Amino acid sequence: MTATWLRQRGPKHLLSMADLDRNDIEQILNLTESFAEVGERSIPRVPALRGKTIAWLFYEDSTRTRLSFETAAKRLSADTMNFSVGSSSVNKGESLRDTVETIDAMGIDGIVVRHGAAGAPHQVSQWSGAAVINAGDGWHQHPTQSLLDLYTARHHLEDLEGKHIAIVGDITHSRVARSNALGFSKMGAKVTLVAPPTLLPSALEGWPVEVTHDLDEILDDLDVCYLLRMQLERQGQAVVPSLREYHAEYGLTSARADRLSDHALIMHPGPMNRGVEIAGEVADRPAAVITEQVANGVSVRMAVLFLLLGSGLDVVDDQRAIA
Partner 1 sequence: MSTDIAITNATIVDANGTRRADLRLENGVVVEMGDKLDGDTVIDADGLVVSPGFVDLHTHLREPGDEEAETIHSGSRGAALGGFTACVAMPNTAPAIDSIAVVQQIYDAASDALCEIVPSAAMTVGRAGEQLAPMAELVRAGVRIFTDDGAGLQDARLMRAALEYARGLNHLADGFSVVLAQHCEVEALAAGGVMHEGEWSSVLGMPGQPAEAEELMVMRDVALARLTGGRVHFQHVSTVGSVSMIRAAKEEGLAITAEATTHHFTLDHSACQTFDPAFKVHPPLRTDADIAAVKAGLLDGAIDAIATDHAPHTRQAKERPFLSAPPGMLGLETAFAVANTELGADIEQLVGLLSVNPARIAGIDDRHGGTIEVGRPANITILDLDEEWTVTGAAMASRSMNTPYEGRSVRGRVRHTFWNGDHVVNMGEATR
Binding site for partner 1 (CB under 8 A): 95-98, 115-120, 122-123, 137-141, 175, 178, 201-207
Q: How near is the Cβ of 37 to partner 1 at its closest, in Å?
A: 35
> Of the two residues 209 and 267, which places its CB atom closer to partner 1 in the complex?
209
Beta bridge partners of 193: 167, 211
Q: How near is the Cβ of 6 to partner 1 at its closest, in Å?
A: 23
> Of the two residues 120 and 290, which places its CB atom closer to partner 1 in the complex?
120
Nearest alpha-carbon partner for 52 in 81, 32, 94, 88: 81
Q: How near is the Cβ of 267 to partner 1 at its closest, in Å?
A: 20
State the sign of the Cα–Cα–Cα–Cα dihedral 231, 233, 237, 241.
Answer: positive
> Of the two residues 118 and 295, which places its CB atom closer to partner 1 in the complex?
118
Q: How near is the Cβ of 92 to partner 1 at its closest, in Å?
A: 14
> Of the two residues 42 and 202, which places its CB atom closer to partner 1 in the complex?
202
Q: How near is the Cβ of 139 to partner 1 at its closest, in Å?
A: 3
DSSP 274: B
Q: How near is the Cβ of 142 to partner 1 at its closest, in Å?
A: 10
> Of the two residues 27 and 174, which places its CB atom closer to partner 1 in the complex?
174
Nearest alpha-carbon partner for 243 in 276, 271, 213: 276
> Of the two residues 157 and 211, which places its CB atom closer to partner 1 in the complex?
211
Q: What residue type is assigned to position 208 of the chain? A: P
Nearest alpha-carbon partner for 90 in 108, 78, 103: 103
Q: How far apart are CA 190 and CA 170, in angstroms?
A: 19
Q: How near is the Cβ of 29 to partner 1 at its closest, in Å?
A: 24
Nearest alpha-carbon partner for 144 in 85, 76, 84, 64: 64
- Spacing of C-alpha 93 from chain mean position: 30
> Of the two residues 179 and 296, which places its CB atom closer to partner 1 in the complex?
179
> Of the two residues 87 and 202, which places its CB atom closer to partner 1 in the complex?
202
Cβ atoms 64, 114 nearer than 8 A: no
* Size of the chain, expressed as the number of residues it contains: 323
Cβ atoms 267, 292 nearer than 8 A: no
Q: How far apart are CA 125 and CA 112, in angstroms?
A: 10
Q: How near is the Cβ of 116 to partner 1 at its closest, in Å?
A: 7
> In what order do the strands lie in the sheet containing 131-137?
79-84, 53-58, 110-115, 131-137
For residue 16, the tally of other CB atoms under 10 A from its CB is: 21
Q: How near is the Cβ of 205 to partner 1 at its closest, in Å?
A: 6
Q: How far apart are CA 145 and CA 85, in angstroms?
A: 22
> Of the two residues 123 and 261, which places its CB atom closer to partner 1 in the complex?
123
Q: CA-based angle 226:257:260, to the nearest 5?
A: 80
Q: What residue type is assigned to position 19 of the chain? A: D
